[in-house]
Structure 1
């Protein structure tokens, strides 16, 4: 039963990456058409807010979320601003000055970031860094770098590109930090919220930075264009509602299994592949050469090992618990 649950969580993680990558694609297209990065960053969640309110209200779960928000407002505000608003603002600005594939590759180092921050946020078994997970995640990051060898030699304006990559790397840490800290605080306060409630709570918490970004966007470039509004709304539906909810659900399914949790986070690297497909369709980006294919093969191998070890560890733990109980 536990193995099936982990397989489902991994599958949901990959599916969420498909929908979450639509946000990166929309950002890239908005930047390509000259849209304001500040509006792109703020509209993603400002347009998401009313949609989520309606969905949560229809499910009869809004009052529970309001009570939870009143109990731990600082948690929602802090991690909402950093884990939602802050991380997305960094990605939106980064895509303004660098190709989408480069920003996506930089952000996907989040698979390693999630492991490195664990000792600083947990005080139980989840604080221990698994050497196998660290090795596999490092291998995933190497695969991401390998994918870019065909492109890096052709890049210009290196200082701006390094700045963009640095912002993507910072976003890579803020995303898992915000998600994990919220789940941990809810766990400690024994507050039970479903994935959609948590996404809405984080979105409400991110309002201060979203309002600031929209004011800056209006001051520097006026109101957003109709194209930017339409594309942002598409990103809201696919990435904000479907992608985020699926990802939170996958994390929740394995929240107390550290290795499985890292495996689900590792599935997000498949977003590089989905982003590439999107840019090939909408921007005519060519399929990568030898190094790109090699990187994808390395990525597939790493994810396969991650999934296998996650299921194997769960099976071993179940056997130990059965023996300990004398069953």
Structure 2
């Protein structure tokens, strides 16, 4: 198997593990778990795991030094990029199908593009025309999926769920791009593990507040909710991220291979759909919903092509 094919295979495997987020969040919502616990437990469990990984890799000293030297940016953008992002995503899981959340969250590509003029002051401010075309394709697919589900879901809950996912799709690139820009301007060089650990640390004040509210209104989380949140931390935050980074590393300077690896992430929608039908007894999407999924995947694939050519 060639290096490019291996990179694509690794990308597909990472998409499989990333999909765990949508499935377990929906599973916890269906079993009556408080979404506030679902949100906070993921990062509370993630923190010791990722700090242990950093310690094992001898990265902990630089990590803590960077965080405590200037905690402000990490607290702010960790709260936005990890905290508010995931809070919105778990809230949406209580009222929307998992596959629809996975599909709608692909608007994060669009959000990232349109945030650029407000974040950067260099050539990154410009939104490429071909990227706009790709965004239009993705957005069309999301709208088709939503319209297809209106016939079987409550329109009010569908609209609220969509708004929550779109907010999550904005908060995620906003927090991550702003922290990368902070690192760039302050010449703070961190590995991906160190960056994720610092942002997780930065989001902790929010999660402690959310946990207190969750305890006040629903008591302690169930053992099942703790286990599923732990699996999300392990599968999505740790395993999927490491495998995806490995896939991009294997692609190297091969632009076509890198684009193909990025495009594999669109398979999250299909994996989530299959898993939701098999394990959570979800209804199969309508014809419009299926067309919407296909359009989203094509849009992401086209975006990956034009982005690497850039």
Question: Which of 66, 69, 73 is residue 67 of structure 2 equivalent to?
Answer: 69
Question: Which of 292, 301, 309 is residue 295 of structure 1 equivalent to?
Answer: 292
Shift of 1:265: 7.3
TM-score (structure 2 length as normaliser): 0.87
- Unaligned runs of 5+ residues in structure 2 are 252-256
**1:115 to 1:191, Cα distance in 2 relative to 1, 3 A:** same
> Which residue number in structure 1 is paired with residue 166 of structure 2?
169
Shift of 1:182: 1.1
Question: Which of 94, 97, 103 is residue 96 of structure 1 equivalent to?
Answer: 94
Q: State the number of aligned residues.
A: 304
Question: Which of 40, 43, 46 is residue 44 of structure 2 equivalent to?
Answer: 46
Separation in 2 of the partners of 1:64 and 1:70? 10
> Which residue number in structure 1 is paired with residue 203 of structure 2?
206
**1:299 to 1:284, Cα distance in 2 relative to 1, 3 A:** same
> Which residue number in structure 2 is paired with residue 285 of structure 1?
282
Deviates more, 1:6-15 or 1:208-217: 6-15
> Which residue number in structure 2 is paired with residue 180 of structure 1?
177
TM-score (structure 1 length as normaliser): 0.83
CA-atom RMSD, angstroms?
A: 3.0
**1:282 to 1:155, Cα distance in 2 relative to 1, 3 A:** same
Specify the SS of the correspondent of 1:102: helix
> Which residue number in structure 2 is paired with residue 57 of structure 1?
55
Separation in 2 of the partners of 1:310 and 1:8? 21
Separation in 2 of the partners of 1:195 and 1:6? 22
Question: Which of 209, 214, 227 is residue 224 of structure 2 equivalent to?
Answer: 227
Separation in 2 of the partners of 1:264 and 1:182? 24
1:144 and 2:142 aligned: yes
- Structure 2 contact 22–99 (Cα < 8 Å) conserved: no
- Structure 2 contact 103–296 (Cα < 8 Å) conserved: no
Shift of 1:280: 1.7
Separation in 1 of the partners of 2:97 and 2:204? 28
**1:175 to 1:15, Cα distance in 2 relative to 1, 3 A:** farther
